[in-house]
Amino acid sequence: MEIKDKIIVITGGASGIGRAMARRFTDEGAKQIVIADLNADGLQEVADEIGARAIPTNVAVEAEVKHLIETTENDYGQIDLLCNNAGIGVGGGPETPNQDWQRIWEINVMAHVYAARAAIPAMVARGDGYIMNTASAAGLLTQVGSAPYAVTKHAAVSFAEWLSVTYGDRGLKVSALCPQAVRTAMTADNPDGVASVDGMMEPEVLCDSVVETLREERFLVLPHPEVLTYMQRKSGDYDRWLKGMRRLQEGYGNFDWP
């Protein structure tokens, strides 16, 4: 897919990766960009900067996601690229309160389900459309210190895989964006965390990989190429990989509970 002349929806568009993608897609010549976020003020600032359409949206609420998709389709005819990018992080393990588990599940996973449920019928009907779900390298590997994040990002990757398998021969293209540490509000409080072992990437640099992968229509978007090597090591010898991850965890503190 070439970005030029496309109609694009981006959730989490007020900051971080979403904002960077909105700017980059504008530079690439997108016909119309619609950005959504819970942060209405920040969203409008980005929209005013690049000439995008701002639709404040809580992606954890299906009715609001449905409104985002339907409004875009009604006003601009179709959605060429849907970027399910909004996400949050929650630390801890099994002791993490139920409400935190539920919140991260709704935003990191169910928001993708809601968006797909609303957008796929029109895409399949015309035999063309693209969905890119922002997951994480944590969805391919794991996240030291955060079971909720690791679990939900694995689920996000799994759902994207399922969409590709199920609808790939009916015109739907699917990618999963799986970076390691990116300089966003989510990483601001822990810039030297384990996810930054291969360096902290600026979101603008990440967009190079996004545009390239969309152009080639590949499934995995890997801004940190090291992740592919880690995946191969994991699948090649799972037990050895687990031992290595335990050693990595030791270098970043004790996350045992209780």
Token digits of residue 244: 């290595």
- By the 8 A CB rule, do 88 and 107 touch? yes
For 56, other C-beta atoms within 10 Å of its C-beta total: 16
Amino acid, res. 132: M
Active-site residue (options: 114, 130, 149, 167):
149
Q: Is 252 a catalytic residue?
A: no
Cis peptide before 56 (omega within 30 of 0): no
The three-point CA angle 34-222-73 to 5° equals 20
Closest CA to 212 of 203, 202, 223, 204: 223
For the purposes of burial, counting CB atoms within 10 Å of the CB of 203, is it exposed (0-12), middle (13-18) or buried (19 or more)?
A: buried
Nearest to 203 by CA among 218, 219, 224, 217: 224
Q: What DSSP state is assigned to residue 194?
A: G
The residues annotated with a catalytic role in the active site are: 149
